[in-house]
Chain A
Amino acid sequence: MPNEPFLCLQQAARTYKANGLPVTALHPTDLAVGKGAFICLAGPSGSGKTTILNLMGGIDTPTAGRVLINGQTTTGLSRAAAAILRREHIGFVFQAFNLIPVLTAYENVEYILLLKRVAEPERTARVEEVLAGVGLEKVRNKRPAELSGGQQQRVAVARAIVGAPPIVLADEPTGSLDSRTGTKLLDLLRRLNRERQTTFVFSSHDPLIIERADQVIRLQDGRIVES
């Protein structure tokens, strides 16, 4: 089981304004995620899954409480500092349409290493290794529009893990995949989790993910109701 919390929500809450009225997406919540975890945030739409994931990934900040990534609070960071924090610590897999359309599969994966200023030949070696790992070496020069949904998601996974982040956040990663492709993708992620001790946090109500998770955190109306 995971230990040493790498990602913490401490009384973190998120309130939005809709038509001028405050809407609570997440009530004050405590949550700790350690290294090597394989966690699923489950719940119906609007339960707060994506809100937690966004807060954990530092692409959103809490309106109350705080979120710590590797001990560093995400509140009050400049846009540049927040970008660097995400780049160094978090890998993202979004539900769909999440690749840069003008770059090939290879270049989409390489992009993260260019941001991290990883020099050649290490960069090429890492991209090729990761693409081979997700079984996409033969389509490396194709652009996203030329790939199937499953292949696109695997490129997204490759991009998320190529920088060797300690944690990967995946929002509905199987949402646009058929069950066979979804199963293959999850098996791949599970293998990475075991081999590299990469932490995975999913937001999903897909039974395929829930069945495979070490821990399922159930949410309803912006609160954790079961963990």
Chain B
Amino acid sequence: MNTFMYGRIALRNIRRNSRRSALTILAVAFGLFCLIVFQALKEGLHQEMVTSTVRLDAGTLQIHAAGHEPNLAVLLPIPHPERAASALRQEGFTRFSRRLKAPTLLLAGEKSSSVLLAGVEPDSEAKVTMIGNRLTAGTYLTEPDALLLGQELAAELGVKVGGKVTLMAQNAFGRPTTRSFTVGGLYRTDLTSFDRTHIYLPLAAAQTFLDAKGEVTEIAVNSGLARIDQLTARLRELLPGDHYQVRSWAQVAPDVQQLIELNDATMDLLILIVFAIVALGITNTMNTVIFERFRELGILAAIGTEPAGILSMIVLESSFLGLIAAGLGSLAGTLACLYLHRYGIDLTSLTSANQYFATSHVLKAVLTWPDLLEAVGVTLATAVLAGIYPAWKGARLKPVKAILHI
């Protein structure tokens, strides 16, 4: 019952010095606004980084033969690839692509370039990566022996669609193999370093070229990003580790995962700094309030208000300040995030050679409910906590000293 009365007094006290209250509210709301927008941009950045990693080449999950390493010069085929495929189907995965990958030397007239050849099933690959959607000339692996090259690489080598190039590689038996191919199509992602080093052939053509009939070295899966750790663990149960290696995108591209974790840690530090400032602002306001109302609080105590009542009154006042600020800050932050989600921030001049922006150079805000609720919760908790010390001081004052105070 008395909480209602203390709340009424607290609210009216906020209106009593409306300018100071407004400034405090604006400061806290601005802190929350920044937090929400930064958090949403960070989330957008992380999603962009993960999407780029996953949709460029890695997929969300990869299956290799046990002992696979990224820079292996010899082919290490997956044993019984149909067993891995059937395990994937059993778990409900329909979007996965079998690949045969091999380091290759690409020769075009007098020029050459070291590239990674990927033999892929065109339809399946299109469900896993974005390469099929990034065609700039020719066709996407429709001809049995036609190569798909990055546009930048083709330009550097001086070849066009319909032109001839030669591939030189080590076949499945460790012997050198050379063959001429026609350039069937060109693609372009937003990452030139990738385009310069990755070429594609239909899987059957690659298997023939590398003398690896029926063999694949990699299966890339597009499982969606939700529950990725559980899915990885489940596949590891089905595909024993002595024959297979199952890794999530975070294990395939640990640099991305580490960067995300570093960003998270930096954001946590930023949250701490922002809310230390917010807490100082509220504490300062409430300390001023206590000083100004010293005599008034003394009279409240003298006429029988218990210390807990005075403490409640002051904590409620700081909580209401926090609540109003949280409402304003979250509204402004959400609107800003909606805008930035729709239009984004164009970072082309900063990210054209950045591997984490292979799908887009526009950073978009992604605001999630948990992030919004966490930011609002932290703001409210800060407001309550920041009010406790001044309230405690107010509750402990001696009525006789307070009443004599002028």
Contact = CB atoms under 8 A, between A and B. Distances in A.
Interface of A: 54, 57, 59-60, 79-80, 83-84, 86-88, 92, 94, 97-98, 100-103, 107, 111-112, 114-117, 159
A44 B109 CA distance: 115
The B interface, classified by DSSP as helix, strand, loop or mixed, is helix
Interface in B299-325: 299-309
Contacts of A54: 400
A116 B309 CA distance: 12
B394 to A, nearest CB: 12
A59 B16 contact: no
B328 interface: no
A112 B304 contact: yes
Contacts of B306: 79-80, 83-84
Interface of B: 1-2, 5, 8-9, 12-13, 15-16, 295-296, 299-309, 395-396, 398-400, 403
A102 B304 contact: no
Nearest to A89: B304
Contact of B5 (A79, A101, A111): A111
Between A83, A84, A107, the greatest number of chain B beta carbons within 10 A of the residue's beta carbon is seen for: A83
Nearest to B14: A102
A84 B305 CA distance: 8
Contacts of A107: 8
A83 B308 CA distance: 11
A84 B307 CA distance: 10
A100 B2 contact: no
B307 A100 contact: no
Contact of A100 (B296, B308, B400, B403): B296
Task: Please provide the 5 A-B residue pairs with the shortest distance between their CB atoms, ordered closest to farther.
Answer: A87-B304, A102-B12, A60-B400, A59-B399, A83-B306
A59 B13 contact: no
A112 B303 contact: yes
A115 B304 contact: yes
B400 A83 contact: no
